[in-house]
Structure 1
C-alpha cells in the first residue's frame, strides 16, 4: 500500500480542491492536491514538495488530520490528509486543469476521487 499525502488548505472558511486534467489518472475528478510519499520522506516533506511541483505554491505542513485506505484498480493507497498553510507562490497548474476554494459542505456536491471522500467528511466535521 502506497502512502499518498493530501493537502487540506483552509482559507476564509473555504477549502482548496483541484481537478485532475485530461490524460491524468482519475481525470475530471476533484481531489485534495498532493502526491506519493517518496522513500525517506516524511508526509510533511512530501506535501510541501508536491504542492511546489504541481501547483507552484509554497506551503507549511502541519498535523495529520486523517488517514484513509482505499483500493483502486491499480493498487491500494493510504491517503493522508495534512493541514497546510499557503505561505507563498502563484498557482500554476501542471497535472490539474482547475482549482477552486469551496465551502466545506459543498464538497458533498462535487465529484471527488473516491479516496478523498473520508477526508472531505473530516473537513466538513472540522470546518463545516
Structure 2
C-alpha cells in the first residue's frame, strides 16, 4: 500500500524552497521539498508545512504526483504549491533550508522521490 506524502512547492521572488533532512532522520542529509505524511482523513493541503517548518501556509491545488518504491515501502509524493504567511522557519526534521533558482534544483543531492517534482518545477518556473 502506498503511503501518501505531501510536498510543498514554495516559490518566492523567483526562487524555490528546498530543505535538507537532518542526519538523524530517514533520508539523512538529502534535499527535497518540505511536507509530511498525510494522516487519515487529512488532505494534502492540510498536511503541508505546519508540522515540519512551523509556519502556516496557504496551499493550492496539486501540481504533480510521483510514486517511489524504497526498502521500507512505497510512497506517493503529492506536490502542492504553497504561499507562506512567514519565512521564519522553526526547523523540526531538517537542519538546513535554501532558496534555489529552479534551474539549479537538480544540482542538489535530492531524495529520489523529489527528482520528478524538481523536474516539474523547472518546467513550470525555470
The answer to whether the aligner puts 1:18 opposite 2:16 as a matched pair is no
Contact in 1 for aligned 2:6/2:78 (Cα 8 Å):
yes
Structure 1 residues 63-109: Cα deviation after superposition (integer angstroms, max 9, x where no partner): 10000000011110000000000013621111100001000011111
Contact in 2 for aligned 1:58/1:89 (Cα 8 Å):
no
CA distance in 2, matches of 1:14, 1:40: 32
In structure 2, the residue matched to 1:70 is 68
The number of aligned residues is: 125
CA distance in 1, matches of 2:10, 2:87: 14
| Larger strand share, 1 or 2 | 1
1:116 partner SS: helix
Please list, as runs of the form range in 1=range in 2, the aligned pairs for 1:1-128 lying within 5 A after superposition.
1-47=2-48, 51-88=49-86, 90-128=88-126
CA distance in 2, matches of 1:25, 1:36: 13
Structure 2 unmatched ranges of 5 or more: none
**Shift >3 Å, 4+ stretches:** none
CA distance in 2, matches of 1:89, 1:97: 15
TM-score, normalised via structure 2 length: 0.96
1:57 partner SS: coil
CA distance in 1, matches of 2:39, 2:102: 29
Query: Shift of the alpha carbon at 1:21?
Result: 0.2
Contact in 2 for aligned 1:56/1:89 (Cα 8 Å):
no
